[in-house]
Amino acid sequence: MAFIGSLLFVVWMYTLMITMGIICIPALLGPRSWARACVRTWIHLTLGALKLLCGITYEVRGKENLPQGGALIASKHQSMWETIAFWVILDDPAIILKKELKKLPAFGQYAMKLKNIEVDRSGGAKALRQMLKDARERAQEGRQIVIFPQGTRTKPGEAESYKPGVIGLYNAMKVPCVPVALNSGLYWPGKGLIRKPGKIVVEFLPPIPPGMEKEAFMSELETRIETASDALLPESFKTERA
């Protein structure tokens, strides 16, 4: 049953993406709010299908820790789930996305219309400067900048180094940084077709104020995210991992 439900969900998600991408083409020519409404509708329908077909729900904790106005949101990254869910969990995020995602049909065009921020990992210092410039501009607009500081999806409980891009943003933006813990990889793995029923938990942790030194900030960020993410793992998972 898990296989059938997962297969139906994947077909639904991508078929709906392409269908709405075509129907909403006029939104790409209008104000950003039009495209945002289309994308949020697609995500709500996608998450509804995820619940119906795969038995996966979600819970958001700690939204009171989100500051008003611009902020840097540094999140654990375990699956595709959070790359789409943040667009409905947060008011108006700008997500740091790999340049390659611009090439995806429908997704890429709408992601750029929403003024997300692309990063070219092979672009060197010039690409980094452009990313920082874009992030400062979005923050000044009062938007939340979302970055996955490990730079890649990791399995639940898996260790992966935190990349320097997050400290660059933290220093350039001069706004609070909100760490985010989650457990999405338990139910929507980073690789493979099968989705497992359960509740994804996303937890916004108390913000780290601007102005910390690099080493202190990176240590604090990693400790908070990893400790809180591990706490979201079921006891059975911790026992198996041990």
Place of tokens 């092979």: 122
Does any domain span residue 61?
Answer: yes
Does any domain span residue 86?
Answer: yes
Number of Cβ atoms within 10 Å of the Cβ of 21: 21
pLDDT digits (tens, 9 = 90+) for 84-111: 999 999 989 999 888 777 777 777 889 8
Number of Cβ atoms within 10 Å of the Cβ of 232: 20
pLDDT digits (tens, 9 = 90+) for 136-191: 889 888 899 999 999 889 999 888 899 988 999 999 998 999 999 999 999 999 88
Does any domain span residue 22?
Answer: no
How many domains does the chain contain in total? 1
Does any domain span residue 121?
Answer: yes
Does any domain span residue 102?
Answer: yes
Q: Which domain holds residue 142?
A: 57-241
Does any domain span residue 7?
Answer: no
pLDDT digits (tens, 9 = 90+) for 107-131: 788 988 999 988 876 767 777 888 8
Residues contacting residue 147 through CB under 8 Å, at least 6 positions apart = 72, 73, 74, 75, 95, 96, 165, 166, 169
The DSSP code sequence of 116-143 is -EEE-TTSHHHHHHHHHHHHHHHHHTTP
Does any domain span residue 39?
Answer: no
From the CA atom positions of the chain, what is the Rg in Å?
18
For helices 2-23 and 32-54, angle between their N-to-C axes, nearest 10 degrees: 160
Does any domain span residue 31?
Answer: no
